[in-house]
A and B are shown apart, each in its own frame.
Chain A
Amino acid sequence: AQSVTQLDSHVSVSEGTPVLLRCNYSSSYSPSLFWYVQHPNKGLQLLLKYTSAATLVKGINGFEAEFKKSETSFHLTKPSAHMSDAAEYFCVVSDGLLNTGTASKLTFGTGTRLQVTL
């Protein structure tokens, strides 16, 4: 079984300050982990993904995340927030064992809404 917990439902930062969105996961096997972003009234866009290669993953728009197996965490960070970063962010886990040419099971966190203020 797999699960993901996003520790904050809402995060507010000032423009130009760092962003930290926290995610913890649980998986029976080697997971794949993703961060998706959803801007208001839009679909979901992939920010970055971890698939057992480098533990520090760089994504689009200056975001990055570090996979820490010992802490079962995959926190999303950005050095300097921009107004356009205001959106909802979803941490997603996929059980690696299932991805052997069969079905892809994604489990979504409940989301973190990022607010960026001037």
Chain B
Amino acid sequence: EAQVTQNPRYLITVTGKKLTVTCSQNMNHEYMSWYRQDPGLGLRQIYYSMNVEVTDKGDVPEGYKVSRKEKRNFPLILESPSPNQTSLYFCASTPRGGGLGNEQFFGPGTRLTVL
């Protein structure tokens, strides 16, 4: 089944404790992206990757890192989480040239709470 998976689905952590949220897709998509969803703000793009070893900042990159060493994986790293990073996170993927009619496939989401 074609899908985007994220782990963990739920995470409660404390300020400053490094964490990684994994994202994997099995559709051989070139383009992957991370979003955060906050009430009243919709989804905002954190980082995106056009292909292996090619990443760039989205609208809200501060406090986050990403890497794209393999085509299928795009982990989101929070080196020193803070409470304002408490949010619902979505990973998405799409084929090359995505956006022009190409659907973005979303993962199920990761709900992160930073205490």
Contact = CB atoms under 8 A, between A and B. Distances in A.
A11 interface: no
A9 interface: yes
Contact of A94 (B43, B99, B106): B99
B101 A49 contact: yes
Interface string B66-77: 000000000000
Given A43-B106, A49-B103, A104 B40 contact: no
B109 interface: yes
B50 to A, nearest CB: 5
A25 to B, nearest CB: 13
B90 to A, nearest CB: 7
Contacts of A45: 106
Interface string A74-108: 00000000000000001000111011111111101
Given A96-B99, A104-B104, A108-B43, 7 more contacts: A34-B103, A43-B107, A49-B101, A51-B101, A99-B102, A103-B48, A110-B40
Interface of B: 31, 33, 35, 40-45, 48, 50, 56, 90, 94, 96-104, 106-109
